[in-house]
């Protein structure tokens, strides 16, 4: 199933942040999660899980696992497999970015998302048909 947007783990994390300094970003992130036109990858869910257990989120394993189940049951999720790894390596080599960012871009491309919603890459940058949209830029 093709999606319009691919959400990076930072958007998921802000949506569940209780830190006062993240209040504005949390509101924006929750608006993105309320939409129905986005997907993620297994990698994004892994990054979300690994980080949401720590401060300032401090969620329990059970709560984090339930959130992952809710996302996975309601949104397209790209697997991380050998073809995705190979595509990510090509993206990394072409654009000189980290492997992990390249894997997110490759997964977005796999889901047909033209926009990657993330604060981790340059806003407006196009990576071979996947453009970065930083939702927290005014």
Domain count, the chain: 1
Residue 64 lies in a domain: yes
Distance CA 23, CA 25 (A): 6
Q: What is the pTM of this model?
A: 0.95
Among residues 124, 122, 87, 82, the alpha carbon closest in space to that of 105 is found at 87
Residuewise pLDDT in 10s, the chain (138 residues)? 799 999 999 999 999 998 999 999 999 999 999 999 999 999 999 999 999 998 888 899 999 999 999 999 999 999 999 999 999 999 999 999 999 999 999 999 999 999 999 999 999 999 999 999 999 997
CATH of the domain at 35: 3.40.50.1010
Residue 138 lies in a domain: no
Domain containing residue 110: 5-133
């Amino acid at each position: 199933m093709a999606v319009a947007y691919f959400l990076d783990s930072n958007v998921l994390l802000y949506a569940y942040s209780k830190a006062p300094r993240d209040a504005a970003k949390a509101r924006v992130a929750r608006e993105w999660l309320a939409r129905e036109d986005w997907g993620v990858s297994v990698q994004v869910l892994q990054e979300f899980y690994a980080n949401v257990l720590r401060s300032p989120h401090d969620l329990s394993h059970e709560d984090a696992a339930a959130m992952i189940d809710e996302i996975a049951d309601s949104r397209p999720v790209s697997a991380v497999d050998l073809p995705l790894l190979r595509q990510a390596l090509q993206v990394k080599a072409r654009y000189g970015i980290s492997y992990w960012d390249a894997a997110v871009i490759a997964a977005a491309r796999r889901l047909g998302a033209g926009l990657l919603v993330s604060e981790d890459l340059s806003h407006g940058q196009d990576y071979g048909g996947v453009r970065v949209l930083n939702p927290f830029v005014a």
